[in-house]
Structure 1
Amino acid sequence: MDSRGLLLILLTCCGAQAAADSDNAPLVHTASGDVRGAVQHTNDRPDKPVYTFLGIPYAAPPVGDLRFRTPQPAAPWEGVRDATRTGPFCPQGLDMLKILPFQLEHHDFDEDCLTLNIETPTVANDTGLPVLLWIHGGSFTIGTGRFRPFAALAAHQDVVVVTINYRLGALGFLSTGDENAPGNFGLLDQIQAMEWVKDNIRNFGGDPDQVTLFGQSSGGESVCYHVVSPLSKGLFRRAISQSSTCNTMGVLPKPVEVAATLAEAVGCDHDQRDTGSMVSCLRQKSADELVDAYRDMMKWGTGEPGVSLRAVVDGNFLPAYPDDLYDEGQAHAVDYLLGVNDHEYGLMLPSLVDPKFGQGMTEDAFVWTLDALIGGLYPGSNTDSIVSAARQLYRDQDKPDDPMAIQRQFTHVLGDSMYVAPTVDTANRHAASGSKVYLYENHYAPAFASAFRPGWVGCDHSDDMFIVTGWPFLDVPLNGGGGLLPFSSEDRKVSGDMMAYWANFARTGNPSDGTGGPTDSPAVPEWPRYTPDNPAYMNLGLTSSADVGLHPGRVALWNDVIPKIAASSEREEL
């Protein structure tokens, strides 16, 4: 599998460019001014227009003195603003976007990037359609709200889809742990966008009281943070986290140390006792300098451990750790749908860390890496007994010495610890609060994926993004010209089902309940509600079916057995 195939799955967040129709261009009023959009159609519904508005500012440009600060409202404009082109990507590594195997609408990067896009089947302000607000993934470092349209989801399910940009990397998540740079700026951008939607979405056919947040990877993690953040209360009604929750990456415990390292790399004073001078200097540096320095710190593709900026406990957006907020009963009473793919750490993510990954693994390398993982999760604990317990569970009994079998088990170790176990833990915590929860494991990978990777890889991280956003119903031009990304009839069938599940949930709080939806929406198998006493979940695929207990032995190891062993070893040392 080449690097273009890897980044295809990591960065993809939405469908392909649908045909725009300049006739009957819609004009809509917002609190900041009027916007004029365009009309697009999907391949299978040429008579159903999707009204599209791109690049609408939802916040003031976060530049100059506003860098490393809470976002401010967008300034009003006079006249009619052209909303037919997406705004620039937030600053990030340019090479990450150049190697995508599909064409982008542009390659523009700018710190003035806080814009949103709206795709809707109507602009009648009395329609009251459910709204799905998408938060993109990319490790809080790369990506954008809309590489390509969500037109199929809007057209097939009569929903309003909003996609947003938010600050990334150092510009979005640097924190000194104090008032000089509290952090979480990218997450605060998301709240600013949610407030804009609440104030304006009615004019685009949406219901401001019927907003569902949905996101994948770090976007799904963002959704989880909004479920527990006091600042997000009342801004959404339902939540969907795909392939990440609050504890996937976890909050950064000592952000000032990372900030100091970055400051030193760009030639700023890095004295942690004078964070005011540090931040003042960082505000004078160009966005490119900060992006390049942070990319070097992450060490992607080197096989070496790097550092990553992410959410922090700031006393404002996150007054405490998410688990503690759940324990204190602070989580919002919203319906929550969440889940994982069946091979989250299959090939794409480990290959970003080590481009040579996929050629097999020795037993010694497995144990060494597992020991390092446990040591990072539980520093100071006796890792020997933990590694032994994990190695016993993750062993291919038929091929215990086969390097490829060892490597495959290793991918499930990382996938379970980072994605599956945290997702089930969040499901348990949220269901225990009394709110409705629906859990899933997705087994379906798009047909073209086989061209990019070997057969031992299952449904890898981000495979769901090609399906739930409706790509199979649109034309996706390959990068460099010469054809389209191929989709099968099975892709279209599963895409239709998954869009129905997501939209049903947004409308009714039940993914199986199509009440109020389009009459031609597919009838989907019953999805049972998840509770700790009855941990039912849905196996999503070409033929979806319900089951009970998502990998109970593997989940128990990470959520119960290992924490108890670690706590016991710490007590023994004391």
Structure 2
Amino acid sequence: MTIIKMNDVKYLVVLSMIIISVLSAREPKQITLANQGTIAGMYITRFRTKRIVAYVGIPYAQPPIDFRRFAPPEYTDLPSWEGLRNATIYAPDCMQNDPKREDIQHPLNKHDELFTKLLEAQMEEPRKKEYSEDCLYLNVYVPDDFKVEGYPAMVWFHGGDFVRGSPNSVNPFQLVLKQKVIFVSVAYRLNIFGFFSTLDNEAPGNFGLLDQVAALSWVKNNIESFGGDPDNVCIFGHDAGAVSVGLHLLSPYSSGLFQKAIAMSGNVLSPETVNIARKEIITVDKVASAFSCFRKPTFQLLDCLRRVNFQALLDIGEPLATWKPIVDTGFSNITQPFISDQPSKMFNDEVFSPVPVLTGYTNMEDGLLLDKGEDSGISQREFDIMREEVILSDITVDNSSCFTNQHHIQDAVEFFYKPIPPTTNETILRKQFLDFYTDKVYGATTYQLAKFISKHAPVYLYRFDLKPFSDVANEGIPDWIAVPHNFDLIFTFGLPYLALPEDFNKWDYRDKSISEIIMKMWTNFAWYSNPTNSGVIIQWDTFEVERPGFFIIDRQNFTMSTPATVNYKAFEFWTDFYPKVLEIGTKCCKEVQDDSGADSVFAQKIFKNIVALYLVLTILS
């Protein structure tokens, strides 16, 4: 029997305190980056004992300024430095205008406004908004412990309709701390800076997407130095970030740089996801005219545009077009295209990277766009007019003199979606319109994407029906709205755990528990390509054409879908029957078919026009 004397106990206590003090005082590991130099990071700490390591503002390509403006990112020769570089200050965001609700060109939607307010409420002080053309930087967040096996890297592409957004807006602290993954957030060029194209070899376009490829290449070459596994990279995005994920599945530039993909509330198969050259000729003319540049030859046009002040380029150039990716086939005889064809055609021809995919949407993505600030529904007249406008956007063609059998097409949709039995209840009609819109825009494209990919790789689909229990998260959201756009990210990033100390009790314990489960499933997918592989006893089946299934996340429980919870017949209507109706109804003036994946889904700007029409009808009534 060993007897420990009091002096020994005191010695052990003092020794333990010294060890704890030494460990807490140690600096984060310095990282040496290939062909660049050495960086020092910082700790991000909560409640003194919980912390992760962050290395922020790391350049992954040369600054896209001067002669590099409107050019692919240069990342074969990376920025380098002597000595130790502090990676402790966030870089400015890429050039963009501050969003305002009154912005006519790109208004700030209510769901973006409310979610931004929620994010900012969890910061000790508001982050200063800084913008720069020199913006190709990324942030790396790493667990603060030691592990033999390499961590998976989750590379995040932010949303914002390709015209705005920041890699610094989400806080991955809880995700990294609890789930032991490396989180990388990437800045990429936006609006005219990222997506202007001269439609030839001089400036093919898609520079924002090529920036993302440069970042993925950097991750491939450096993530092992942070403790990550370069052969286990999961690309991860929301909104335009999710569309980016879909385009990386298709592009030869991205092939081999990632092993799995998560796309949330955005789908590459939506129409107008990508521009086509013949519709962008006028954009080049507008840009040349706006800055008094010679239109041709294009090398002179670019020389002129590269001398324009960056703020003037943004202020005058951004409103000239809808900036987004473009099908760039035939633009260059030197390099291969980033997007060689319409996305639906490429998926149909099986020209994509067959990696595991997790994707889905919320059940009222755009519900807040119909919120008038009072709990009132829509009339039958409003329902009919808005539905007809939605369908009209699918059958509008360039040749205004051609004939379309619009009534035939409209009647088919009305027949499928008219309430049975008939009703004048405006609340029911509002729900009916949102079901119609969500089925068409989000459900059908998600279903179609799964049908394409599931032949070659596991696909996990979800629909997020779970509205937070906490009042703080539902502030400004009417009771009739379930889960609007962005609000699934509350759980994905563990927001209930990130509140300031004075707000911590404002979050319902149920939201905290659910957030733990969601984070575990998403990171399970990053680790193992299966969201329920470890730590959760939940059934989430892969999608199969013969047995299609969505994982339904709601307040009652998490279960696989049934015909009672998911309208599969509606998805088949939009992906199979409706395109045939369109084909017949527009046969007389059929031109080269623009992409639509499900040939049925329309861009959000169309819906905004419908909302404007809805408000006019409300005023008139």
Q: TM-score range by the shorter chain?
A: 0.7 to 0.9
Matched-pair contact (CA < 8 Å) for 2:142–2:183: yes
CA shift, 1:275, in A, is 4.0
Question: Which ranges in structure 2 are unaligned for 5 or more consecutive residues?
Answer: 1-23, 101-107, 330-336, 398-403, 591-621
CA shift, 1:465, in A, is 1.2
1:211-290 matches, cutoff 5 A: 211-248=233-270, 249-253=272-276, 254-264=279-289, 266-269=290-293, 271=295, 274-290=297-313
Matching residue of 1:471? 495
Are positions 1:373 and 2:414 aligned together? Answer: no
CA shift, 1:560, in A, is 1.7
Instruction: Indicate which of 23, 36, 40 corresponds to 2:40.
Output: 36
Are positions 1:385 and 2:408 aligned together? Answer: yes
SS of residue paired to 1:338: strand
Matched-pair contact (CA < 8 Å) for 2:496–2:504: no
- State percent identity of aligned pairs: 29
Output the amino acid matched with 1:156.
Answer: K
Instruction: Indicate which of 93, 105, 129 corresponds to 1:89.
Output: 93
Are positions 1:293 and 2:316 aligned together? Answer: yes
Are positions 1:461 and 2:477 aligned together? Answer: no
Matched-pair contact (CA < 8 Å) for 2:192–2:318: no
Q: Which moved more, 1:435-444 or 1:254-263?
A: 254-263
Q: Deviations over 1:110-146 (max 9, x none)?
A: 1111111111114769541111111111111111112
Distance 1:398 1:309 in 2: 44
CA shift, 1:497, in A, is 0.7
Matched-pair contact (CA < 8 Å) for 1:476–1:485: no
Q: Deviations over 1:4-33 (max 9, x none)?
A: xxxxxxxxxxxxxxxxx8852331111211
Classify 1:154/1:283 alpha carbon distance in 2 versus 1 (closer, same or farther; 3 Å).
Answer: same
CA shift, 1:219, in A, is 0.6
Classify 1:286/1:488 alpha carbon distance in 2 versus 1 (closer, same or farther; 3 Å).
Answer: farther
Q: Which moved more, 1:284-293 or 1:66-75?
A: 284-293
Matching residue of 1:309? 323
Distance 2:318 2:95 in 1: 12
Matching residue of 1:11? none
Matching residue of 1:519? none
Classify 1:490/1:378 alpha carbon distance in 2 versus 1 (closer, same or farther; 3 Å).
Answer: same
1:142-181 matches, cutoff 5 A: 142-181=164-203
Distance 1:177 1:548 in 2: 47
SS of residue paired to 1:310: coil
Q: Deviations over 1:511-543 (max 9, x none)?
A: 1101xxxxxxx4241210111111022112342
Instruction: Indicate which of 198, 201, 207 corresponds to 1:185.
Output: 207
Output the amino acid matched with 2:507.
Answer: F
Are positions 1:78 and 2:82 aligned together? Answer: yes
Matched-pair contact (CA < 8 Å) for 2:409–2:585: no
Instruction: Indicate which of 220, 235, 250 corresponds to 1:198.
Output: 220
Distance 1:476 1:48 in 2: 15
Aligned residues: 525
Distance 1:281 1:486 in 2: 54
Distance 1:530 1:285 in 2: 50
SS of residue paired to 1:422: helix
Q: Deviations over 1:468-514 (max 9, x none)?
A: 0121111259xxxx967942212111111111111111111111101
Matching residue of 1:487? 507
Matching residue of 1:499? 519
Question: Which ranges in structure 1 are unaligned for 5 or more consecutive residues?
Answer: 1-20, 298-306, 515-521
TM-score (norm 2): 0.79
Classify 1:260/1:369 alpha carbon distance in 2 versus 1 (closer, same or farther; 3 Å).
Answer: farther
CA shift, 1:282, in A, is 2.6
CA shift, 1:59, in A, is 1.0
Matched-pair contact (CA < 8 Å) for 1:114–1:165: yes
Classify 1:421/1:483 alpha carbon distance in 2 versus 1 (closer, same or farther; 3 Å).
Answer: same
Distance 2:392 2:582 in 1: 10
Matching residue of 1:450? 474
Instruction: Indicate which of 523, 537, 545 corresponds to 2:550.
Output: 537
SS of residue paired to 1:240: strand
Matching residue of 1:114? 136
Matched-pair contact (CA < 8 Å) for 1:345–1:412: no
SS of residue paired to 2:583: helix
Are positions 1:319 and 2:340 aligned together? Answer: yes
Matched-pair contact (CA < 8 Å) for 2:408–2:585: no
Q: Deviations over 1:296-323 (max 9, x none)?
A: 45xxxxxxxxx52211111311112222
Distance 1:442 1:524 in 2: 19
Distance 1:136 1:213 in 2: 11
Matched-pair contact (CA < 8 Å) for 1:228–1:325: yes
Classify 1:363/1:336 alpha carbon distance in 2 versus 1 (closer, same or farther; 3 Å).
Answer: same
Distance 1:485 1:345 in 2: 29
Are positions 1:566 and 2:570 aligned together? Answer: no
Distance 2:420 2:475 in 1: 30
Distance 1:423 1:347 in 2: 21
Classify 1:573/1:26 alpha carbon distance in 2 versus 1 (closer, same or farther; 3 Å).
Answer: closer
Matched-pair contact (CA < 8 Å) for 1:313–1:321: yes
Matching residue of 2:560? 546
Distance 2:234 2:396 in 1: 38
Matching residue of 2:458? 436
Classify 1:394/1:164 alpha carbon distance in 2 versus 1 (closer, same or farther; 3 Å).
Answer: same
Distance 1:290 1:155 in 2: 41
Matched-pair contact (CA < 8 Å) for 1:22–1:39: no
Classify 1:551/1:152 alpha carbon distance in 2 versus 1 (closer, same or farther; 3 Å).
Answer: same
Distance 1:260 1:293 in 2: 14
Classify 1:64/1:197 alpha carbon distance in 2 versus 1 (closer, same or farther; 3 Å).
Answer: same
Matching residue of 1:63? 65
SS of residue paired to 2:306: helix
Distance 2:376 2:305 in 1: 42
Distance 1:359 1:292 in 2: 38
Matching residue of 1:510? 530
SS of residue paired to 1:231: coil
Matched-pair contact (CA < 8 Å) for 1:367–1:387: no
CA shift, 1:359, in A, is 6.0
Q: Deviations over 1:159-204 (max 9, x none)?
A: 1111111111111112232222211111111000000000000111
CA shift, 1:573, in A, is 5.8
Distance 1:293 1:358 in 2: 40
Matched-pair contact (CA < 8 Å) for 2:497–2:504: no
Classify 1:52/1:82 alpha carbon distance in 2 versus 1 (closer, same or farther; 3 Å).
Answer: same
Q: Which moved more, 1:464-473 or 1:103-112?
A: 103-112
Matched-pair contact (CA < 8 Å) for 1:268–1:282: no
Distance 1:449 1:49 in 2: 25
SS of residue paired to 2:261: strand
Classify 1:548/1:283 alpha carbon distance in 2 versus 1 (closer, same or farther; 3 Å).
Answer: farther
Output the amino acid matched with 1:49.
Answer: R
Classify 1:293/1:47 alpha carbon distance in 2 versus 1 (closer, same or farther; 3 Å).
Answer: same
Matched-pair contact (CA < 8 Å) for 1:42–1:155: no
Distance 1:572 1:388 in 2: 19
